[in-house]
């Protein structure tokens, strides 16, 4: 954890050596409609390899080291960024001797002192620069809610906002340009509000990936994965795990689809049908909310330890209905 030395001007960076045990399992927990994580990872690894080719002219070949993950709150952007960092550290061992992760909370750079935020942003990039000076070490920087630092200068001018916001954006862009010359530095930025960001920042992003809220199939899979974890750890009593693969959401009806794949009626069939109904009712909720609801249901509306699966599903129905009110 790094902090500047001047009182009132502190900046805080979490610096972690990767791969790290705390991030184990994050990649496997990612659930999206499309293969977004795999696609972004493949592009980044390919770029890392190309950037190491000797004698590439940097005046001709631009190193695209800035990734923007944007979308609605709770869609899993920060989790995806952390999972990508962990995977990159594992996949790049033949390119780099080690990997560092630097995590930046943008809000800590908003100084309570007038005119000081831009100085903090400048100091942030000085720190990243010194931390990434060893070109045998891959440095991955995650900047959460980057719109805090990359606000549109044009909109700030039109709204007669203070010049510090404009200077902060300028410092960010200058810092990114300075570090773009280093092939061992990658920025993974997240944002809920792409529309308020400066166009010059967006133009610098080599990868711009929209992360949507979960659809019905994703909601089902999130519920299923959490409930299976309960069963695995004997918090929920059931003869077997809920199915290990996502079934197609068919217009023919969930019972017909499940019966065809499972070969007839069973407790598993009934439970999966009920869970699919709950997934439909939960459509529109964020991924963050979907992940917390099964635990809330277990704690709030079940008593037995372990509880029966049907009791948990009944409890989950109640908390989904409460969330939708």
Q: Could you report the per-residue pLDDT of 279-318, keeping only the tens digit for each?
A: 999 999 999 999 999 999 999 999 999 999 999 999 999 9
pLDDT tens-digit profile of 204-243? 999 999 999 999 999 999 999 999 999 999 999 986 665 5
Q: State the pLDDT confidence band at 260, using cuts at 50, 70 and 90.
A: very low
Query: Do 165 and 105 share a structural domain?
Result: yes
Domain count, the chain: 2
Inside any domain, residue 2: no
Give pLDDT tens digits for 160-203: 666 677 888 999 999 999 999 899 999 999 999 999 999 999 99
Dihedral of the CA atoms 251, 253, 257, 260 (nearest 10)? Answer: -120
Looking at the fold, whether 233 and 306 belong to one and the same domain comes out as yes
In a domain, 307, yes or no: yes
The answer to whether residue 17 sits within a structural domain is yes
How does the average pLDDT of the chain come out, rounded? 86
Q: Can you read off the two tokens belonging to residue 43?
A: 């592009």
Residue 3 lies in a domain: no
What does the alpha-carbon distance between residue 69 and residue 73 come to, in Å, rounded to a whole number?
Answer: 11
- In angstroms, rounded to a whole number, what is the distance separating the alpha carbons of residues 312 and 316? 6
Is the backbone of residue 8 left (phi > 0), alpha (psi -120 to 50) or beta? left
d(CA 244, CA 146): 36
- Which one has a higher pLDDT value, 245 or 289? 289
Say whether both 176 and 77 belong to one domain: yes
**Same domain? 24 vs 173:** yes
- Where residue 258 falls among pLDDT bands split at 50, 70, 90? very low
> Does residue 292 fall inside a structural domain?
yes
Residue tagged 């750079």 (tokens):
109
pTM score, whole prediction: 0.85
Residue 257 is part of which domain span? 216-324
Measured over the CA atoms of residue 198, residue 200, residue 205 and residue 208, the dihedral's sign is positive
CA distances for 241 relative to 28, 30, 117, 126, 232, angstroms: 17, 19, 51, 51, 8
Indicate if 28 and 101 belong to the same structural domain.
yes
């Amino acid at each position: 954890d790094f902090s500047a030395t001047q009182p009132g001007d502190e900046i805080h960076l979490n610096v972690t050596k990767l791969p790290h045990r705390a991030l184990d399992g994050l990649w496997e927990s990612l659930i999206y409609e499309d293969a977004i994580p795999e696609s972004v990872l493949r592009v980044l690894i390919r770029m890392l390899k190309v950037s190491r080719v000797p004698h590439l002219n940097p005046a001709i070949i631009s190193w695209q080291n800035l990734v923007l993950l944007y979308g609605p709150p709770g869609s899993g952007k920060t989790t995806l960024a952390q999972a990508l960092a962990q995977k990159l550290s594992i996949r790049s061992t033949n390119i780099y001797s080690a990997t560092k992760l630097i995590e930046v909370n943008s809000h800590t750079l908003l100084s309570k002192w007038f005119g000081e935020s831009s100085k903090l942003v400048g100091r942030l990039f000085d720190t990243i620069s010194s931390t990434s000076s060893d070109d045998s070490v891959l440095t991955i920087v995650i900047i959460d809610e980057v719109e805090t630092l990359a606000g549109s200068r044009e909109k700030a001018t039109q709204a007669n906002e203070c010049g510090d916001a404009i200077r902060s954006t300028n410092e960010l862009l200058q810092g990114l340009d300075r570090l773009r010359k280093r092939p061992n530095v990658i920025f993974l930025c997240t944002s809920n509000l792409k529309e308020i960001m400066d166009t010059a920042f967006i133009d610098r992003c080599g990868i711009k990936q929209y992360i949507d809220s979960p659809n019905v199939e994703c909601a089902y899979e999130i519920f299923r994965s959490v409930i299976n974890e309960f069963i695995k750890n004997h918090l929920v009593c059931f003869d077997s795990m809920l199915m290990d693969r996502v079934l197609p959401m068919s217009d023919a009806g969930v019972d017909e689809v499940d019966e065809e794949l499972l070969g007839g009626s069973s407790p598993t069939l009934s439970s999966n049908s009920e869970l699919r109904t709950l997934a439909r009712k939960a459509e529109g909720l964020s991924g963050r909310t979907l992940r917390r609801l099964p635990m809330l249901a277990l704690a709030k509306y079940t008593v037995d330890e372990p509880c029966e699966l049907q009791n948990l599903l009944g409890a989950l129905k109640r908390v989904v209905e409460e969330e939708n009110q």
